[in-house]
Structure 1
């Protein structure tokens, strides 16, 4: 269900994030430090007295106002306010009931409705790597609670709604994938083999054998210098499920290799619909995956030139 909050607030869960793990993974709460603030004063909404108490602690009027306003937000925001934070390199969000409890260490907590979520409403992880720097910079806020300026963007991410410009780019990319897949299928065999070789080399693998030597289970042998892994790549322009399963049997006793890649651009229906058992070291790459890797490896223009 699409969320429609009245307001979005960022909260830093403790100095240096010291409350994050407990709040998000265990207690499902929001938690505020400010042990020096009087709980009863806040419950009574006596914000003038709270402001004065900060000045008595030596804070100037401006800083005292900032502290008071942040604490007031924690105590008074209703269930229609969306709270966000960043933890474990992800964006987390929740709604919360304004039921404030003072804990034994003087900090305060309020319960989350349900639980903290690190996913959009369709179940996709909200990884920080996929979030705009405009929102990520909120983490640099030097206080505890602040209003989220990038309200519309935040809701777009959580509700998985894209702007017109992003949708246009996604549509163009989908069209590129569709047309590029046709070009890849029409490549001459030797060019397709070279494309696969280039894809792996762009990913950091080093070729340690020549291609096209007609070895039964090996078209390319690769080495990963960072992890010292050795891999075999078997390349087919066309293949069937039976052929793939036969190669899996051939791969099984090859204990000197860490990974096996079976790459084919024109798979039979039974191979295209095959759901692998999840063998971690055997990878089936069909046309969709090959096209995706061609684009991400910057080899689109190479394919176009070879097809011209």
Structure 2
């Protein structure tokens, strides 16, 4: 379910403990932000006596510059209001949330403040915010040696767009162009001979790192490929059909019950019957021409296909 778009006035990255020591507790259990600096009296921060805080930190750090940076981070933690966006990283995802400035002093003299609702690791449309899908510029904040740092300018705008699930115009144009290209590739698939179509499917799996061990059966209408993934030892069985309908998939599913040494099965169809539909929870992965076309593009086989049908 989609949420309303966020519109923060500013954003901060917060490191939840040295080496992420508080991440699991803050994110999965208590839904909080947490700050160290146990030497700093809570009452000074609440009263806004930041010059006093500065003096304490200078005595601890022995350096006014470092003390100023620490003081500023503490001040942000105490004074940031509910319009401020907070982000952190945990596992392979970015987490975000807003927080009420209600400070609690914990028994170890560290401080916490509650997240409104809960930490989220998805955009407002429910898509996971996985680190590998985020810009390197934004990910640089994870290497910040302090506790809290501002996310500014382009990174701030990028972060808000990401959380709101907004695609940048040039990215959207590229995706549309890719979809158009895949549609053209799909049309070319139907021009392949059965032998070349069989070879193309073999090439797709080879490009993905699989090795063909043997051909289990070969007729004019179907072929079964026995594939091995060398790194893990997994084995896949692939049935390639020139044409097929749901009943043939059911037969293949029944046949698979007799094979005990395979991790997964694929049913690849050149020309599926009009009423042939995939099942979302099927234990057999079905590839229709559009699925094949996307993999032709993904694995760099478009030139091979174009040459074959030219």
Alignment partner of 1:183 out of 176, 184, 188: 188
What TM-score do you get using the length of structure 2 for normalisation? 0.94
Indicate whether 1:202 and 2:204 are aligned. Answer: no
Q: Which residue matches 2:123?
A: 120
8 Å Cα contact 1:218-1:232 kept in structure 2: no
- 1:302/1:129 CA distance change after superposition, 3 Å: same
Inter-CA distance 176–211: structure 2 relative to 1 (3 Å threshold): farther
* 1:260 aligned residue (251, 262, 265): 265
**Match in the other structure for 2:53:** 50
**Contact in 2 for aligned 1:217/1:247 (Cα 8 Å):** no
Shift of 1:58: 3.8
After TM superposition, where is structure 1 displaced by more than 3 Å over at least 4 residues in a row? 215-218
What SS class does the counterpart of residue 58 from structure 2 fall into? helix
Matches within 5 A, 1:63-142: 63-142=66-145
Q: Tell me by how many angstroms 1:173 deviates.
A: 0.7
> For the residues of structure 1 that align with 2:245 and 2:282, how far apart are their CA atoms?
19
Structure 1: gaps (5+ residues): none
> Take 2:112 and 2:212, find their aligned partners in 1: how far apart are those partners?
57
Once residues 215 and 186 of structure 1 are traced to their aligned partners in structure 2, the CA distance between those partners, rounded to angstroms, is 16
Paired with 1:101 and 1:241, the residues of 2 have a C-alpha distance of 61
- 2:40 aligned to which of 37, 41, 44: 37
Partner of 1:301: 303
- Asked if structure 2 preserves the Cα contact closer than 8 Å seen for 1:30 and 1:110, the reply is yes
Q: What does the per-residue CA deviation read over 1:195-226, in whole Å, with 9 as the maximum and x for residues that have no partner?
A: 10001111111111148732998521112222
Residue 21 of structure 1, aligned match among 17, 21, 24: 24
**Count, aligned residues:** 305
Q: CA deviation at 1:87?
A: 0.8
Give the equivalent residue in structure 2 for 1:222. 227
The CA deviation at 1:231 is 2.2
SS at match of 1:99: coil
- Counterparts of 2:217 and 2:251, CA distance in 1: 20
Q: Cα distance, 1:259 vs. partner?
A: 2.1
After superposition, residues 264-275 of structure 1 pair within 5 angstroms as 264-271=269-276, 273-275=277-279
Cα RMSD (Å) of the superposition?
Answer: 1.6
How far apart are 1:293 and its partner, in Å?
1.4
Q: Please show how residues 237-256 of structure 1 align to structure 2 within 5 Å.
A: 237-256=242-261
Work out the CA distance in 2 between the residues paired with 1:217 and 1:305: 24
Indicate conservation of the 8 Å contact 1:90/1:128, yes or no. Answer: yes
Deviation at 1:63, TM superposition (A): 0.9
Mapped partners of 1:257, 1:179: distance in 2: 34
CA distance in 2, matches of 1:48, 1:276: 62
User: Cα offset for 1:114?
Assistant: 0.5
TM-score, L = length of structure 1? 0.95
Contiguous gaps of at least 5 residues in structure 2:
none
Shift, 1:103, TM fit = 0.3
Q: Residues 114 and 88 (structure 1 numbering): CA distance in 2 closer, same or farther, change over 3 Å?
A: same
- Helix, strand or coil: the match of 1:37? coil
Relative to structure 2, which stretch is displaced further, 80-89 or 227-236?
A: 227-236
